[in-house]
Amino acid sequence: MGQRAAIYCRVSTADQSCGRQERDLTTFAGRAGYDVVATFKETGSGAKLDRAERRKVLALAQARQIDAILVTELSRWGRSTIDLLNTLRELENWKVSVIAMNGMAFDLSSPHGRMLATFLSAIAEFERDLISERVKSGLAAAKARGKKLGRQAGERPKSDRLASKVMTLNAEGRSYRWIARDLGISKNTVADIVKRNRLSLAPKIETSP
């Protein structure tokens, strides 16, 4: 019996099809001796936060029901270098590898996998620096134009926008850490959202004057 694997396919737009990825990965799995447990197909850009099918693959990995995740290329799996590295580290805890058809195999328990992770870490740091530089440059330009910067009192645009997703995942029993990683927010933000929503649903006690 070969290793258990999940096939993950993703296309960016609705006018594209996962058919070719699925066929290529099924053939690849047969040649490499993987037993395909399930196939997941998703439509959405690499930057899209709500990737429900990818969450299902991670759930299988966490439940120790698969040994590997098969993708045509790493860009189908990771939203960014940072996201790729974070998910690889999480998968390492569950002894699950990400295998791309181009020969890239990420198993952080192996010397080769750790070497690639070190290389990715350097790229991720460079990516973070570039983003930080662009943000600072944009803020400086906006300030020069007289634009009012910073969140105003009572405004929580990002956390308010993600509140329903956070509460749904929380109701499914996901940990704050899981939710934070999956939605690209901090663990503290997740805790604040859950706390605010629970307080809003709590019955109010009326007091006599």
16-71 per-position pLDDT tens digit: 899 999 999 999 999 989 999 999 999 876 555 668 899 999 999 999 999 999 99
Q: Could you tell me if 9 and 107 lie in one domain?
A: yes
pLDDT at 35: 95
Q: Is residue 149 part of a domain?
A: no
pLDDT at 107: 63
Model pTM score: 0.57
Tens-digit pLDDT profile for residues 61-116: 999 999 999 999 888 888 777 788 788 888 888 989 888 887 666 665 667 666 66
**SS3 assignment for 87-154:** HHHHHHHCCCEEEECCCCEECCCCHHHHHHHHHHHHHHHHHHHHHHHHHHHHHHHHHHCCCCCCCCCC
Q: Is residue 126 part of a domain?
A: no
| CA–CA separation, 170 and 190 (whole Å) | 9
pLDDT at 33: 92
| CA–CA separation, 154 and 177 (whole Å) | 25
Q: Is residue 152 part of a domain?
A: no
Q: Could you tell me if 38 and 105 lie in one domain?
A: yes
Q: Could you tell me if 105 and 170 lie in one domain?
A: no
Q: Is residue 80 part of a domain?
A: yes
| CA–CA separation, 121 and 138 (whole Å) | 26
Q: Could you tell me if 89 and 31 lie in one domain?
A: yes
Last residue of a domain, one of 114, 142, 165: 114
Mean pLDDT estimate for the chain: 80
Range(s) of the domain holding residue 64: 4-114
| CA–CA separation, 85 and 103 (whole Å) | 17
pLDDT-derived band at 160, boundaries 50, 70, 90: confident
Any catalytic annotation for residue 12? yes
Tens-digit pLDDT profile for residues 186-206: 888 899 889 888 876 655 445
- Tell me the β-bridge partners of 41: 9
Last residue of a domain, one of 114, 140, 174: 114
Q: Could you tell me if 9 and 97 lie in one domain?
A: yes
CA angle 164, 170, 174 (to 5 degrees): 135
pLDDT at 153 over 50: no
Query: 141-155, 165-179, 192-206: which range is least confident on average?
Result: 141-155
Rounded percentage of the chain residues whose pLDDT exceeds 90? 25
Q: Is residue 129 part of a domain?
A: no
Domain count, the chain: 2
CA angle 100, 104, 108 (to 5 degrees): 105
